[in-house]
């Protein structure tokens, strides 16, 4: 299905309405459309043709936003790369995607060059031209500059094919080698429509975007903006004080965060309530700790939980705002027009029965780029197997528990890490926690925890185990607790459990308080 390209349509419909604000620029819809047109013609002049990939290694910026819209006008495929990855981690992604152009800035130039050089050893198919998106010093003038690059005398596209691929987003790698998730225009369209029907949008809305734009949670906000016709305020990075200040000014109506970000916002605010102008805090990125939800409820924070994946172009299940307090802890119901089921041990799960979450609908990816085997393994009779565990209550609301591969089986009993982490996080001295299972010759696996304390907090492992024992079944209490300076997380805030699990046998951080207490399950 071919439809009008949404940014150019909004530029005709509401040309003078503000569309985008960053720290150093603002754009109306008409100005944003014109700037995206210019970038598209520049990319064409650099040799980008229909179907080619355009990679970006950029922080949140107006250039990154323009790249999202510019590829639609060629049409090319956007490959947003994680700026926090090392060149060695970026190299296989670059080799697989084989982009024609890589947009970066001077800060990341050496990083990009090293990654491209290493990509040749992974089978990079064609030469890739690096283009600088900001002003370069004299010693970097051998690299083309976007601000002085010529424009090709080309006519840009004003329609999009909903079945065509717009984006290849590489997964965070929390479960192994990253996969290049192909997302079509239709995936982005239906995700934005489903979100708008659930949350509502008005011309006066402003969505604060402080998630990275190499993550689907950030990119999806840009599509919601140009499809819904409202403004996006882009922060280069997440900073709790800056986010709170922007919200307190009164023009931010919606924001997307993950649990760690929201915790930091609450701690920075103290008991200061959010202004009534903020009507939605969209909370995703994994199961939300109940202590966090209860803290938000006390402050009247308008938290709406959501569940989504890169493979679903962000949201696929979201709580309706009116259910936020009534269904505390639930991720909600499928957004229109998607479907959800729980696959139990004997087929379709009954209400309350834990099983694997399967989703189906127009937000679901057609597959992984150049990985047909992994694509085939991800689907069952047209349903995407998410690998996540959850259950439906009697009213059909989804409760997400954990990743299937993160489930801990100790002595024949199932332990969900998120449940134990919620209890750990409820302790006033604990700032962050990660629970994993490690091999145990007697119990199969034993429950262990890596814990980060608040600055100046004092706590030993035995006291924290006692806290857990008062609130959990004995077999769920961590047998080992290691205190660490910080926990490994992805750029989107998800715990990298495999890194904690893999590093469990390594010595604890020298900065860690003294601490490992051990015992049998239930002691």
Distance in angstroms (rounded) separating the CA atoms of residues 122 and 70 = 28
Q: For residue 203, what are the CA distances in angstroms to 232, 339, 396?
A: 11, 29, 32
pLDDT in tens, 419-431: 899 899 999 999 9
Convert 46-83 into a string of H (helix), E (strand) and C (coil): CCCCCCCEEEEECCCCHHHHHHHHHHHHCCCEEEECCC
Torsion of the alpha carbons at 467, 471, 473 and 479, rounded to the nearest 10:
-20
Q: Among 106-110, 190-194, 228-232, where is mean pLDDT lowest?
A: 106-110
pLDDT at 496: 85
What average pLDDT score do residues 172-186 get? 79
Distance in angstroms (rounded) separating the CA atoms of residues 65 and 226 = 11
Q: What contacts 425, CB < 8 A, 6 or more positions away?
A: 289, 291, 292, 432, 433
Residue limits of CATH 3.40.50.12780 in the chain: 2-16+27-161, 185-404
Residue limits of CATH 3.30.300.30 in the chain: 407-502
- pLDDT band with cut points at 50, 70 and 90 for residue 505: low
130 DSSP β-pair partners:
102
Beta-carbon neighbour count of residue 511 at 10 Å? 9
In the structure encoding, which two tokens stand for residue 471, read together? 């609130």
In the structure encoding, which two tokens stand for residue 228, read together? 């819904």
- pLDDT band with cut points at 50, 70 and 90 for residue 140: low
Contacts 24+ apart (CB under 8 A), 21-29: 21/231, 21/232, 21/233, 21/234, 22/60, 22/61, 22/62, 22/65, 22/233, 22/234, 22/236, 23/235, 23/236, 24/62, 25/62, 27/62, 29/226, 29/229
Distance in angstroms (rounded) separating the CA atoms of residues 224 and 199 = 11
What average pLDDT score do residues 268-279 get? 93
Torsion of the alpha carbons at 494, 498, 504 and 507, rounded to the nearest 10:
-70
Positive or negative, the Cα torsion across 452, 454, 456, 460? Answer: negative
DSSP state of 98: -
Torsion of the alpha carbons at 67, 71, 72 and 75, rounded to the nearest 10:
180
CB burial of 137-158 (b: ≥16 within 10 Å; e: otherwise) equals eeeeeeebebeebeeeeeebbe
Distance in angstroms (rounded) separating the CA atoms of residues 105 and 204 = 33
pLDDT at 248: 96
Torsion of the alpha carbons at 502, 506, 509 and 510, rounded to the nearest 10:
-170
**Residue 125 pLDDT > 50:** yes
DSSP state of 335: P
DSSP string, 489-505: B-TTS-B-HHHHHHTTT
Distance in angstroms (rounded) separating the CA atoms of residues 217 and 209 = 9
- At the top level of CATH, the class of 2-16+27-161 is alpha beta
In the structure encoding, which two tokens stand for residue 187, read together? 């995936």
DSSP string, 167-217: EEEE---TTSS--EEEEEHHHHHHHHHHHHHHH---TT-EEEE-S-TTSHH
Locus of tokens 């185990």: 465
> Average pLDDT of the chain?
91
Q: For residue 275, what are the CA distances in angstroms to 250, 328, 389?
A: 7, 21, 35
Q: What percent of the chain has pLDDT over 90?
A: 74
Fold classification of 185-404 is Rossmann fold (3.40.50)
Tell me whether strands 383-392 and 355-360 are parallel, antiparallel or unpaired. Answer: antiparallel
| 494 vs 64, more confident | 64
DSSP string, 210-248: -S-TTSHHHHHHHHHHHHHT-EEEE-SS--HHHHHHHHH
Q: For residue 438, what are the CA distances in angstroms to 405, 419, 478, 509?
A: 12, 17, 11, 19
What average pLDDT score do residues 274-296 get? 89
pLDDT in tens, 348-390: 999 999 999 999 999 999 999 999 999 999 999 999 999 999 9
**Residue 291 pLDDT > 80:** yes
What average pLDDT score do residues 142-163 get? 95
**Residue 273 pLDDT > 50:** yes
What CATH number should be reported for the domain whose range is 407-502? 3.30.300.30
Distance in angstroms (rounded) separating the CA atoms of residues 135 and 329 = 47
**Residue 57 pLDDT > 80:** yes
Locus of tokens 């937000």: 363
282 within 8 A of 318, measured Cβ to Cβ: yes
């Amino acid at each position: 299905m071919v439809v009008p390209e949404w940014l150019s349509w909004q530029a005709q419909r509401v040309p003078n309405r503000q569309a985008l604000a960053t720290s150093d620029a603002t754009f109306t819809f008409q100005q944003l459309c014109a700037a995206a047109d210019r970038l598209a013609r520049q990319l064409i002049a650099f040799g980008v043709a229909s179907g080619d990939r355009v990679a970006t290694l950029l922080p949140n910026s107006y250039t990154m936003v323009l790249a999202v819209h510019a590829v639609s006008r060629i049409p090319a495929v956007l490959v947003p790369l994680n700026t926090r990855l090392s060149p060695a981690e970026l190299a296989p992604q670059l080799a697989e995607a084989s982009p024609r152009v890589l947009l970066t800035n001077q800060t990341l130039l050496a990083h990009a060059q090293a990654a491209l050089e290493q990509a040749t050893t992974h089978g990079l198919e064609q030469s890739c031209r690096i283009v600088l998106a900001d002003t370069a010093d004299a010693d970097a003038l051998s690299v083309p500059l976007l601000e002085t690059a010529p424009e090709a005398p080309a006519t840009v596209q004003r329609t999009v094919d909903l079945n065509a691929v717009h984006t290849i987003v590489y997964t965070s790698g929390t479960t192994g080698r990253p996969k290049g998730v192909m997302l079509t225009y239709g995936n982005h369209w239906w995700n934005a429509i489903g979100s708008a029907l659930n949350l509502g949008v008005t011309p006066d809305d402003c969505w604060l975007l402080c998630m990275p734009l190499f993550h689907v949670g950030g990119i999806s906000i840009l599509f919601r903006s140009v499809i819904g016709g409202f403004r996006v305020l882009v922060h280069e990075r997440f900073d709790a004080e800056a986010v709170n200040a922007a919200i307190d000014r009164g023009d931010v109506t919606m924001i997307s965060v993950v649990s760690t970000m929201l915790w930091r916002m609450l701690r920075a605010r103290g008991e200061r309530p959010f202004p009534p102008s903020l009507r939605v805090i969209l909370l995703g990125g994994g199961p939300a700790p109940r202590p966090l939800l209860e803290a938000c409820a006390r402050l009247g924070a308008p938290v709406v939980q959501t569940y989504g994946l890169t493979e679903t172009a962000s949201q696929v299940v979201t709580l309706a705002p009116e259910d936020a307090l009534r269904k505390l802890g639930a991720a909600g119901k499928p957004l229109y027009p998607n479907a959800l089921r729980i696959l139990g041990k004997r087929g379709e799960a009954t209400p309350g029965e834990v099983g694997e979450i399967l989703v189906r609908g127009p937000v679901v990816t057609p597959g992984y780029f150049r990985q047909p085997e992994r694509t085939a393994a991800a689907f069952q009779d047209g349903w995407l197997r998410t690998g996540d565990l959850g259950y439906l209550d009697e009213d059909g609301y989804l409760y997400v528990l954990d990743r299937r591969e993160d489930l801990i089986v100790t002595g024949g009993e199932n332990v969900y890490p998120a449940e134990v982490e919620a209890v750990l996080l409820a302790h006033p001295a604990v700032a962050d926690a990660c629970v994993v299972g490690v091999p145990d010759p007697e119990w199969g696996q034993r429950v262990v925890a890596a814990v980060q304390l608040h600055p100046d907090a004092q706590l030993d492992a035995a006291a924290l185990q006692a806290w857990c024992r008062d609130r959990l079944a004995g077999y769920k209490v961590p047998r080992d607790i290691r205190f660490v300076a910080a926990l490994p997380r992805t750029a989107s805030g998800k715990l990298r459990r495999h890194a904690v699990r893999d590093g469990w046998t390594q010595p604890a951080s020298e900065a860690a308080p003294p601490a490992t207490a051990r015992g049998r399950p239930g002691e």
